[in-house]
Amino acid sequence: MSKRLKVILSGGGTGGHIYPAIAIANELRNRYADIDVLFVGAKDRMEMQKVPQAGYEIVGLWISGIQRKLTLSNLLFPIKLLSSLWKSRSIIKKFKPDVVIGTGGFASGPLLRIANSKKIPTVLQEQNSFPGITNKWLAKDAGKICVAYDHMERFFPQEKIIKTGNPVRQDLLSIEGKRDQGQKKYGIDVNKKTILVLGGSLGARRINRLIEKELDFFEQKEIQVIWQCGKLYYSEYEKYNTKEHVQVHQFLDSMDLAYAAADIIISRAGASSVSELCIVAKPVLFIPSPNVAEDHQTKNAQAIVNVGGAKMIKENELDDHFEDRMSEILVSEQLQSQLSNAIKTMALPNATSDIVDEIEKLI
């Protein structure tokens, strides 16, 4: 191995693929003073902003996923794929990486394919309980596949699988003892229960509509609501900040304190959210997004529900069953502590360093 370590990371399209890649890059940088890190993403996706903000260089490929219906983008797919393979070949030839790491999303497909053909070691990190097309396509030639759930041998070669968990934000690993601070920050009445509502960074229209509809229900039950509605919806819902028991936020700048202040959490079930919630270990009601590739979120939530670690309600059941499901959690302290204890058993707080240990073994 040359004295200076050279690493390429590729993944993107959504925060769930980008943030793990950045966490892995940060951990590598902590361990090696002599390291060059390059990211490869899809040209017009959010990684092109997020990665430079985190202090890393990124190169964009002209690539997009396959849509489920016939579109212009689908007709262009073979051309985009060839263009991306060609560009990946020149990136690898020029950069000469010691290892290439893919965290999912279609941009990582062409790049890891070329790395494998050049016999450069590759590592996949799969966040979901049900892998995406790209990682399934790359699995056969990968050196190691780091996963967050059990039973992944259904999709990947068993001998390559290492269960590490998903990288999460470091500040979340310690919410112990921050409850008072969180209650102060969010101006909470300590004698009332607090529900934290999370719809993801952009927000979730269906969850927002639900919360708007249920504000009277929460008020009757004397429940306070910290409602992160997302930047797309803030102008629509900020008017509810006038209500005493509700606070509406575009996003939450100190998630650790919001988690610490909450008694119960209502959340989407994206892979990184689920991993965070396992570490936070509060009672959770998952409302998975049905609009996600291969229905990942329902499968992620189901994996936690199966061990008794959370409750789940599907979007199409919200109107009929939300209040019953919520009341069931609210009235039973016993159920709340059962949910907390069971979800905690799924937590893998050392994921980032465990993944980097696996990368080191390969190189």
Rounded to 5 degrees, φ, ψ at 190 are -70, -10
Given CA atoms 50, 152, 122, 277 in this order, what sign does their dihedral have?
A: positive
CA 298 to chain centre: 14
Looking at the predicted structure, is the pLDDT value of residue 196 above 70? yes
pLDDT computed for residue 304 by the predictor: 95
Same fold, 5-166+350-362 and 171-344: yes
DSSP string over 268-287: ---HHHHHHHHHHT--EEE-
Give the model confidence (pLDDT) of 133-146 as tens digits.
889 999 999 999 99
Number of C-beta neighbours around residue 95 at 10 A: 15
Looking at the predicted structure, is the pLDDT value of residue 202 above 70? no
Give the model confidence (pLDDT) of 25-39 as tens digits.
999 999 999 999 999
Residues 70, 37 contacting (CB under 8 angstroms): no
pLDDT computed for residue 248 by the predictor: 95
Tokens in use for 124?
């996949």
Residues 54, 119 contacting (CB under 8 angstroms): no
pLDDT computed for residue 66 by the predictor: 63
Give the model confidence (pLDDT) of 222-264 as tens digits.
999 999 998 889 999 999 999 999 999 998 888 899 999 999 9
pLDDT computed for residue 214 by the predictor: 95
H or E element, residue 59 = strand 57-61
Among 3.40.190.10, 3.30.420.40, 3.40.640.10, 3.40.50.2000, name the CATH number for the domain at 171-344. Answer: 3.40.50.2000
Q: Give this prediction's pTM.
A: 0.84
Tokens in use for 223?
């429940």
What CATH code is assigned to 5-166+350-362?
A: 3.40.50.2000
Average pLDDT of span 303-320 = 95
Name the residue with higher pLDDT: 215 or 176.
215
The neighbouring-strand residues paired with 122 are 100
Mean model confidence pLDDT for the chain? 91
The closest of 3, 6, 2, 5 to 94, measured between CA atoms, is 6
Give the model confidence (pLDDT) of 79-107 as tens digits.
888 888 899 999 999 999 999 999 988 88
Residues 194, 262 contacting (CB under 8 angstroms): yes
pLDDT computed for residue 29 by the predictor: 95
Angle, helices 296-305 vs 271-280, to 10°: value is: 20
Q: Which of 58-72, 86-100, 153-167, 348-362 has the lowest mean pLDDT?
A: 58-72
Could you state, in order of their start, the residue ranges of all structural domains in the chain? 5-166+350-362, 171-344
Looking at the predicted structure, is the pLDDT value of residue 294 above 90? no
First to last CA, the chain: 8
Instruction: Give the 3-state secondary structure of residue 232.
Output: coil
What type of residue is 168?
V
- Alpha-carbon span 193 to 265, nearest angstrom: 11
Tokens in use for 242?
């006038």
Give the model confidence (pLDDT) of 108-161 as tens digits.
999 999 999 999 999 999 999 889 888 999 999 999 999 999 999 999 999 999
pLDDT grade for 180, boundaries at 50, 70 and 90: very high
